[in-house]
Amino acid sequence: MKALAAIGFASVIALAAASPADARQGCGQGFHRARNGACVPNRGPRQQVYVVGRFYPGQGYWYNNRWYQHRVRWRNGWRYR
């Protein structure tokens, strides 16, 4: 009976020692596993909100979901090209 209890206790200790994988699951910092097993980058709550008519260096002006490199005055407003 003592041997059976010792085996049961040892199996409980072995299961407790085998901890699950961490959140990265072997993909490295900033990545996690997708459903298909590939490593994909983490997406956080950070989302860029672009302001219409503002110039962003390296991209241009944001207007109607497009980037434009130039703008000119046209009929009391701006025209993007």
Q: pLDDT tens, 7-46?
A: 887 777 776 666 554 555 678 888 888 888 888 888 876 6
CA distance 63 to 79: 10
So what's the pLDDT on residue 24? 54
CA distance 78 to 66: 15
Q: Please tell me the pTM assigned to this model.
A: 0.37
CA distance 10 to 4: 10
So what's the pLDDT on residue 34? 85
